[in-house]
Structure 1
């Protein structure tokens, strides 16, 4: 039996993972954030258990181990509660509900943009920290931009996430739960999640083991079944982890947050460059490309008057020409309190042409979600400013 029809609304009554909607101007608050020092004593999330652990629990409750596959299949469909899992006996559903939560993530706020094509959700984690995830709908795919850390330890000066203190690493199941919630959202619209990019809050390579475990679970055909080739892992440049990734045989796309081709400038824009300079970083990335036969994406946030000059384009050409490389230009999403500005459209077009003249493959990223506080950390920052919403019954 297929999953029952669910409400098309973002917040569904009766789901223990959701709370009454609160509204403040254009931002929808789902719940008030808790203090970050909160200690949870709630039941574990179902996806925090491994396959073996869940099967052992089932056997201890006199249920056959194959029920685990049924449970995961329902999670892959975006089930919002154990009660929806109609092919699982009701007594077992009751026992599951008493022992596990369907998710550990609690949505705090939801922001929409691009006429509903972009949805950004701020989630509270166990312990009170919060992270963001963005669902972007396109004609041929649906992509989730996922977070791997609460905050970010790298401290890039143009990034909203770096403006507030680093919280903690996410656990693998907390990363996967972001994808499951995206599946839940998209399935209510008759869509499916096809791509995942680790370009949300945090430095994925600084939470390496959890990120790799989450990718394996995301790609598990018994769970979400998303091909690793449709997963992008971004990094600011942790070379030892890039080298380690090349041994994983996952064939994910590697994205390097480059932003500058000379050390003098990148030391400022991406402080970890002082430890892992540009030439060494590109050599490591190309080593990954050779091992996996996968082209590396080099991300370049365009900052007006900072890294959008002819000199920058020529240095980028010298650095990447002849390599398995693709340059992804990203017009800057303005962040309050930073000195940086986005170039105008003519400036973006001019820099793209300069890079193309260097013989490089280059695209300009679709600037989705500017209305939705799209840059990493912006929704978190906005919620902190608007923490006195009005309750709507």
Structure 2
């Protein structure tokens, strides 16, 4: 519930609205979930809340720590026994967390492990917040950045994502800046326009990966509905509306999208757009037959983009020894337990 919804709920049960603010602080500022421990409430009120309501709080099923770079990968158990995952990555500026927005994904991108069983359900605002709070409590830190780039397509769970972000940003809770949030999408164009009109300064990250429609449509089914030209047009609208730079994720795949023709077309479609290209050497999965390119080829690709005025960097690979790419650890765990 938002703060206003919580205040109205307390009025409905014969309590003062300020009790709603107290509970909101308890849950979102202090990241607590057991109403029986709210000492400022009477025992009668605590018992009533415990009986008639619940605070969704997922559980950390397992945590895997990378020996390479300190990345922490979490498997979270939801109350319906579904499993999702999150990642905490340590940088010089602090910790960044990547969280999931859906159990599974309906987008069907060939190279992504998250989508292999399709969509199971959307994750609620409370569950998304619980991913964040559990990571912060577990590590004893405050996150510097939050990326909605784990399992699921955030813009396919639009209303829940927006509600979660507004609660996260609320000064009575975490007071987390929108500017430190990145929302990833594979290109749901009408939702990009909607997000631009929200007037919240989050960073938009578009999983582009291919510069030609025919090739992109084969690997990313969303492209059959929204072509690259429509996505770029929506991104230009987003930049003009928010004055925020758009990030394009480009997974470099040997022999598929790493050639000169793809490079030249990528330069053409991004020319003049306020953007940054995040080059990601492929993280192979067994269901996708292509390979990761040699690092020298990756560096040449990046250098060519930069030379043509398109800022590009290679995304640092984190947690390679713990299946840290989205969807990989969940699938490994569920296969091991015979759940797939």
Structure 1 segment 120-139 matched on structure 2, within 5 A: 120-139=73-92
In the TM superposition, residue 67 of structure 1 has moved relative to its aligned partner by 3.2
Kindly indicate whether the alpha-carbon contact (under 8 Å) linking 2:196 and 2:238 is maintained by their aligned counterparts in 1. yes
Name the stretch that deviates more: 70-79 or 92-101. Answer: 92-101
Kindly indicate whether the alpha-carbon contact (under 8 Å) linking 1:261 and 1:312 is maintained by their aligned counterparts in 2. yes
Match of 2:270 among 290, 313, 320: 320
Kindly indicate whether the alpha-carbon contact (under 8 Å) linking 1:77 and 1:183 is maintained by their aligned counterparts in 2. no
The answer to whether 1:119 aligns with 2:69 is no
**Inter-partner Cα distance in structure 2 for 1:222 and 1:114:** 37
Q: Secondary structure at the match of 2:313?
A: strand
**Inter-partner Cα distance in structure 2 for 1:195 and 1:278:** 28
The answer to whether 1:213 aligns with 2:163 is yes
Question: What CA deviation, in whole Å up to 9, does each residue of 1:264-312 have, x standing for no partner?
Answer: 2111221211111111110111111111101110011121221122222
Kindly indicate whether the alpha-carbon contact (under 8 Å) linking 1:147 and 1:201 is maintained by their aligned counterparts in 2. yes
Match of 2:24 among 67, 72, 77: 72
The answer to whether 1:347 aligns with 2:284 is no
Kindly indicate whether the alpha-carbon contact (under 8 Å) linking 1:259 and 1:269 is maintained by their aligned counterparts in 2. no
1:141 aligned residue: 94
**Inter-partner Cα distance in structure 2 for 1:138 and 1:97:** 39
Extract structure 1 runs of 4+ deviating beyond 3 A.
56-64, 80-102
**Inter-partner Cα distance in structure 1 for 2:185 and 2:94:** 24
Cα RMSD over matched residues?
A: 2.2
Q: Secondary structure at the match of 2:247?
A: strand
1:51 aligned residue: 3
Distance change >3 Å, CA 370–CA 86, structure 1 → 2: farther
Match of 2:121 among 158, 168, 186: 168
Distance change >3 Å, CA 166–CA 369, structure 1 → 2: same
**Inter-partner Cα distance in structure 1 for 2:4 and 2:122:** 24
Kindly indicate whether the alpha-carbon contact (under 8 Å) linking 2:108 and 2:220 is maintained by their aligned counterparts in 1. yes
The count of aligned residue pairs is 337
- Write 1 or 2 for the structure with the bigger share of helix: 2
TM-score (structure 2 length as normaliser):
0.91
In the TM superposition, residue 192 of structure 1 has moved relative to its aligned partner by 0.7
Kindly indicate whether the alpha-carbon contact (under 8 Å) linking 1:114 and 1:368 is maintained by their aligned counterparts in 2. no
Ranges in structure 2 where 5+ consecutive residues have no aligned partner: none
In the TM superposition, residue 61 of structure 1 has moved relative to its aligned partner by 6.0
